[in-house]
Structure 1
Amino acid sequence: MLAMASLIPISQPLFTSNTKPQTPIATAQTSDLPPRILSRRDTILFSSAASLFLSLSPTNPAYAFSLGISGPKEWLKDQKKKSSRFLLAPIDASREALRSAYLSLDKESEYTDKDLENLQNLFKTSARDCVPKERSSLVDFQSKTGVEVCTFKLVVKNAASLLDDKDPLKLEAENILNDLVRSFGSLIVLTNGSDMNLPSDRKKIADAVMEAISYLDKFEKGVKDCLEI
């Protein structure tokens, strides 16, 4: 028995009085930190900083004014003023056509069919496609597809593009344009049913021409008012 006992190794105890239990190596645990939520104070500070930045930006009217820089609307208005002569050119051309028509009515010689045709062409030219019945087939087709063909309406639209729809200046220009278009229509109707060799008929047409020129002058003033020139 003793011999067998000597063959069986005696295992060492896990812990002795001279040993301390080994501390297991702790596995590092990583956890995502929760996102930092802006406090009310942080939010107020951030908003204040953003407001300050925007107030100092060039798009701010006060900032632009302090540096002498005009805003986009003022810049566009200035550009319209500089190019106003091109916008008013159709009005000048129509006025010259009406004056030529008036001078042709003042002639003492017999008024021929050719003279009448030239007179009617002057009236149609001065109307600038604003009288529907006198439009060519192509222009009439364009108007039916939604394209604005009346030159004077395009002039008003351009001149008043920076104004509100209910702006008094824009409404006044549009009202005068309606009167102008009616006067052009009356001119064309008068020439179709008049004897150009009768002094009374010529005078009637001449008076209508002067009325159209008067409306044209008022219309030009209305456009200039929209442009502030």
Structure 2
Amino acid sequence: MSISLIPSSTITTTVPPPPLLRPPLVETKLFSRRNGVVWLSLIIAAPLTFPNSALSFGISGPKEWLRDQKKKTAKYLLAPIDASRNILRSAYLLLTKAESDFGEKELEEFQSLLKSAARDCVPQERSSFVQFQSSTGVEVCTFQLVVKNASSLLADKDPVKLAAETKLIDLIRSFASLSDMANDIDVQVASNRQKVANALMDTVTSLDNFEQGIKECLEV
């Protein structure tokens, strides 16, 4: 019996491809005070893409699809507003729980809470770095970024957009007035603390009105 050998030159071996490399997982912290601004900035700057089904089959137009996407992400746009409201409530409790003992420590904590709730929207309360960013044309006011994103599908003269922008102005003025009062008035006096508390609740009302304006822009 003869055995035919296959020439070695015709023998091929299949080398399995290397395993796909997975990018490392990166943990993200949602809506920290600074991350929230970056996230909103990326949304505004990101290029718009449309689903093929909407364009090919006419299920919905690009603008309608984008409007639906904004509705789905509404909770993220509203998150900074809700966080600021909670901070103001904490500041109110700090201000009103003290019957007579409201010293420098309590005052510093109260002013820090107000600054945090304002989210870099009061110019005189900004840090030097944030002030530098603003001077270079970078939008640093979180609430302004919220308005820009929520109203991006609306015309410049749209009444809903104009109403939201007006409510933003009222909100910033309210924060500025509250900050000035907290810095200028002697809050160690009980009657003065009550005045500041009343002004704080007025700011909460302005924040609620602003939130309603954003919801109207998003149609939620």
Query: Do they superpose with TM above 0.5?
Result: yes
Q: 2:74 — aligned with what?
A: 84
The answer to whether residue 66 in structure 2 is matched with residue 72 in structure 1 is no
For residues 81-160 of structure 1, the aligned pairs below 5 Å read 81-107=71-97, 108-160=99-151
**Which of residues 145, 157, 161 is equivalent to 1:166?**
157
Q: TM-score w.r.t. structure 1 length? A: 0.71
Aligned to 2:194: 203
Question: Offset at 1:59?
Answer: 4.4
4+ residue stretches of structure 1 with deviation over 2 A?
A: none
Whole-Å separation in 1 of the counterparts to 2:141 and 2:186: 30
Shift of the alpha carbon at 1:198?
1.0
- In structure 2, what is the Cα distance between the partners aligned to 1:159 and 1:84? 8
Q: How many residues align?
A: 167
Deviation at 1:86, TM superposition (A): 0.6
Unaligned runs of 5+ in 1: 1-57
Distance in 2, matches of 1:123 and 1:59, equals 47
The code of the aligned residue for 1:166 comes to: K
Match in the other structure for 1:192: 183
> In the aligned structure 2, how far is the partner of 1:118 from the partner of 1:109?
16
Structure 2, unaligned runs of 5 or more: 1-53
Q: Per-residue displacement from partner, 1:90-118 (whole Å, max 9, x unpaired)? A: 00010001001111111214001010001
Residue type at the aligned position of 1:144: S
Alpha-carbon displacement from aligned partner over 1:28-81 (angstroms, at most 9, x marks no partner): xxxxxxxxxxxxxxxxxxxxxxxxxxxxxx749xx72xxxx1111111110110
C-alpha distance in structure 1 between counterparts of 2:189 and 2:100, whole Å:
12
- The Cα offsets for residues 143-202 of structure 1, whole Å up to 9 and x where unpaired, read as 010100000000000000000000000000000110100110111111111222212110
RMSD (Å) for aligned C-alpha atoms = 1.5
Counterpart-to-counterpart distance in 2, 1:197 and 1:137: 29
Distance 1:192 1:153 in 2: 25
State the alpha-carbon separation in 1 of the partners of residues 136 and 68 from structure 2: 33
Distance 1:142 1:193 in 2: 28
Report the TM-score when normalising by structure 2.
Answer: 0.73
